[in-house]
Amino acid sequence: MSSSWQHGYIRDGIMVHFHHGNHSDPYKPIGNDSLDVACKGCFVRFDTTACVRSGLMTLFVTVTGLLCAAKLCRLHQKNQRTVHQYIIFYTALVECVLCAIHWIYAKYTQIEFGLQYLKLIQFLVVCHVYCCLAARVTRKEQLSSRVVGPLFVLAFIYFTVITVMGMLDARSSWVDCREPEWILLSSMEFVLVQLFLVSGIYITKKLNKISTQAETRREQKRDLWGLIGVFELSATITLIYDVNMLIWADEDNGCSGVFLHSQWFYSLIYALLELLKFMLPIWTMMCVFHPVEPASTDFDSSWAEDGTYTSVFSPQRGNRYRRLQNPTSSPAALHSSRSFPVLPPIHEEETSPLPSV
């Protein structure tokens, strides 16, 4: 039967504690506060490098939050009918507020789990939109209602349960990187991104066959693959980081030991990780998604028999109309668009004249 023991010493007026032996108690104060690079900042355990890092990151996220607030004001002014953008940018705004608190002051593992959860909610909304659209353009609407919808409901429940478990099981920054919940979240995110990638391939094939201007088609594909590329990068980097921390960190040297207890090394890696993980997806979605007039949010008016469509995420551009001949109805005028169409409310899909691929 193993026994636990501890000893310590005074360094720079701080009592440094080492714990050895049995670490099964998650509430036991494990670690070395004077060496732990993750717990340093501007207000608690001051460190110049950590404070500069936190200040710059907080500046970035504050500007991003203000842009999200401005985007939401525009959405309300335009009376946006679809809820997707509201979900995306409201969660992004909350994420920016929590990031600012977390980076500059409160170094709590629970906040980090909350940030990861909000980012995953945004990704689920975007991924669900394009996966359902891919099912529609391939004329497999039943796949959307019977497979894609339940799959994303299960993914939402999975992320919620794992996040709550991570918050309840949170430990100190000395060993929090070894929590299995990080791997469970990042690995599932990586799998769903691959589903997003497959949907993008189907949608791109459809774009290549529709009769629309080459410039418009090119811009739509750029926006679609910009989103896919950013989420792919974010999910891959997050998974690689979580796997490496789980492999190389241990109870004795802690997560800080992976960075050789170097604040410069840790600050460089951590700042890059957090910006790519949280901020880059928000910046990309703000560039791609825009409010539109209520008349343009109807999915049925965004498609024609020849495959021409408009976007319900992009702003209208002046009075540019294109005449389309529908053999079953009178000619219709549709707006051109830059970005790919988003999914409307599901109850509108029965009358949508989807073309074959």
In angstroms, rounded to a whole number, what is the distance separating the alpha carbons of residues 149 and 151? 5
Q: What number is the average pLDDT over the span 80-109?
A: 90
Length of the chain (residues): 357
Quickly state the pLDDT bin for 293 (edges 50, 70, 90): low
| 26 or 227, greater pLDDT | 227
Q: Is the pLDDT of residue 291 over 50?
A: yes
- Give me the pLDDT at residue 334, please: 37
Q: Is the pLDDT of residue 341 over 70?
A: no
Q: What number is the average pLDDT over the span 95-119?
A: 92
- Give me the pLDDT at residue 19, please: 42
- Give me the pLDDT at residue 16, please: 45
- Give me the pLDDT at residue 54, please: 92
Q: What number is the average pLDDT over the span 100-128?
A: 92
- On whether the CB atoms of residues 326 and 109 are closer than 8 A, the answer is no
Give one DSSP letter per residue of 124-183, joined into a string.
HHHHHHHHHHHHHHTT-HHHIIIIIHHHHHHHHHHHHHHHHHHHHT---TTTGGG-HHHH
- On whether the CB atoms of residues 206 and 303 are closer than 8 A, the answer is no
* Bridge partners for 20 per DSSP: 5
* Bridge partners for 9 per DSSP: 16
In angstroms, rounded to a whole number, what is the distance separating the alpha carbons of residues 294 and 77? 10
Q: What number is the average pLDDT over the span 285-309?
A: 55
What does DSSP assign to residue 5? E
In angstroms, rounded to a whole number, what is the distance separating the alpha carbons of residues 343 and 349? 9
| 97 or 4, greater pLDDT | 97
Helix (H) or strand (E) holding 245: helix 214-248
Q: What number is the average pLDDT over the span 311-340?
A: 41
- Give me the pLDDT at residue 133, please: 82
- On whether the CB atoms of residues 98 and 67 are closer than 8 A, the answer is no
Q: Is the pLDDT of residue 71 over 80?
A: yes
SS3 70: helix
- Give me the pLDDT at residue 51, please: 92
Arithmetic mean of pLDDT over the chain: 76
φ and ψ at residue 318, rounded to 5 degrees? 65, -140
- On whether the CB atoms of residues 30 and 251 are closer than 8 A, the answer is yes
Q: What's the pLDDT tens digit per position in 193-241? A: 999 999 899 889 888 877 677 778 888 889 999 999 999 999 999 999 9
| Among the listed residues 64, 199, 229, 62, the one whose alpha carbon sits nearest the alpha carbon of residue 138 | 199
Task: Categorise residue 237: left if φ over 0, alpha if ψ from -120 to 50, beta otherwise.
Answer: alpha
Q: What's the pLDDT tens digit per position in 28-43? A: 344 566 778 888 888 8
pTM over 0.85: no
Contacts 24+ apart (CB under 8 A), 95-99: 95/119, 95/122, 95/278, 95/282, 96/61, 96/62, 96/64, 96/65, 96/68, 96/282, 97/65, 99/57, 99/58, 99/61, 99/274, 99/278, 99/279
Q: What number is the average pLDDT over the span 118-129?
A: 93
In angstroms, rounded to a whole number, what is the distance separating the alpha carbons of residues 7 and 61? 41
Residues 6+ apart with CB under 8 A from 112: 102, 176
- On whether the CB atoms of residues 281 and 122 are closer than 8 A, the answer is yes
Quickly state the pLDDT bin for 136 (edges 50, 70, 90): confident
List the structure tokens of 191.
Answer: 């799998």
- Give me the pLDDT at residue 318, please: 41
Percentage of the chain lying above the pLDDT 90 cut? 43
Q: Is the pLDDT of residue 322 over 80?
A: no
Quickly state the pLDDT bin for 23 (edges 50, 70, 90): very low
Q: What number is the average pLDDT over the span 241-245?
A: 95
Q: What number is the average pLDDT over the span 327-342?
A: 42
Percentage of the chain lying above the pLDDT 70 cut? 72
List the structure tokens of 348.
Answer: 């509108």
- Give me the pLDDT at residue 272, please: 95
- Give me the pLDDT at residue 304, please: 35
